[in-house]
Amino acid sequence: MPQSLKSQTALVTGAASGIGAGVARALGAAGAAVVINYVTNPAAAEAVAAEIRAGGAEATALQADVSSELEVREMFAKAIAHFGAIDILVNNAGLQQDAPLVDMTLAQWNKVIGVNLTGMFLCAREAAREMIRRGVRADVSRAAGKIVCISSVHEVIPWAGHANYAASKGGVKLLMQSLAQELAPHRIRVNSVAPGAIQTPINRAAWETPEALASLLRLIPYGRIGQPEDIGRVVAWLASDDADYIHGQTIFVDGGMTLYPEFARGG
């Protein structure tokens, strides 16, 4: 992979596993120094950091719960002290706490909104403050900074039994677009990548048995489940100057899940 992100620092939230780890590896392979944010599993975060270092890029793991204002502030302060700048924020941390509406607790609602939506606000705010303060460094990138939100196909596909999750991702859509409008004059590019079904721990039940996988594949015209690298490669490109004129967009990386595949069989 070309070293398109050389001399840049990226912070990836929720990077100890799943899509976040795949994104962190791809950014490291593109030459960025990477901050691996994690909340509960330091060993897994350290393993991702070690892999990136073995590939020749810098990496360090930092703990913070993205839904905590204080912890987010401390994480950014440490990251900036360590690497001197934040050029790229990948707002990835996210979780599901599924329940039918009539059984959903307020705690389940608040937890999902807190991490998936408030966490993106808190991290974007800290990143934007630093990017505005520093401005464009023309030797590094045409933009003062890049913010990529990892959304979901569920920013447009309603999802029964997952109202908290779908609401959080619908929120991410307009959070991203509003930030894009607001931060453009500062030359901060803001976009989303919206994955479909990617094989990670968050959706294990949807792929771990042959029956579950067959049922999932009915929703994916391209006929395979996605892998974290599928998302990592797109994020690395979107954060690079090759994508300098892409701003305020959601790129769906979903094997066609948003094509209403049931209509291929009727309608």
Residues annotated catalytic, as ranges? 165
With tokens 């350290």, the residue in question is 46
Provide the binding-site residues for ligand BGC, judged by CB under 6 A.
96, 152-154, 196-197, 202-203, 206
Q: How far is the CB of 206 from ligand BGC (least distance, A)?
A: 5
Q: Which is nearer to ligand BGC, 72 or 150 (CB)?
A: 150
Q: How far is the CB of 196 from ligand BGC (least distance, A)?
A: 5
265 contact partners, CB below 8 Å, separation of at least 6: none
Total H helices, total E strands in the chain:
8, 7
Q: How far is the CB of 253 from ligand BGC (least distance, A)?
A: 11
Q: How far is the CB of 261 from ligand BGC (least distance, A)?
A: 12
Q: Which is nearer to ligand BGC, 67 or 200 (CB)?
A: 200
Q: How far is the CB of 201 from ligand BGC (least distance, A)?
A: 10
What is the distance between the alpha carbons of residues 135 and 145, in angstroms, rounded to a whole number? 8
What is the distance between the alpha carbons of residues 159 and 161, in angstroms, rounded to a whole number? 6
Q: How far is the CB of 178 from ligand BGC (least distance, A)?
A: 21
CB count in 10 Å sphere of residue 43: 9
Q: Which is nearer to ligand BGC, 182 or 262 (CB)?
A: 262
Q: Which is nearer to ligand BGC, 94 or 145 (CB)?
A: 94
Q: What is the side-by-side order of every strand in the sheet holding 145-150? A: 59-63, 33-38, 9-12, 88-91, 145-150, 188-195, 250-253
Whether 90 and 150 have beta carbons less than 8 Å apart is answered as yes
- What residue type is 171 in one-letter code? G
Token pair listed for 224? 């395979």
Strand segments (E) across the chain = 9-12, 33-38, 59-63, 88-91, 145-150, 188-195, 250-253
What is the distance between the alpha carbons of residues 104 and 161, in angstroms, rounded to a whole number? 9
Q: Which is nearer to ligand BGC, 203 or 249 (CB)?
A: 203
Q: Which is nearer to ligand BGC, 140 or 212 (CB)?
A: 212
What is the distance between the alpha carbons of residues 117 and 34, in angstroms, rounded to a whole number? 22
What is the distance between the alpha carbons of residues 246 and 242, in angstroms, rounded to a whole number? 9
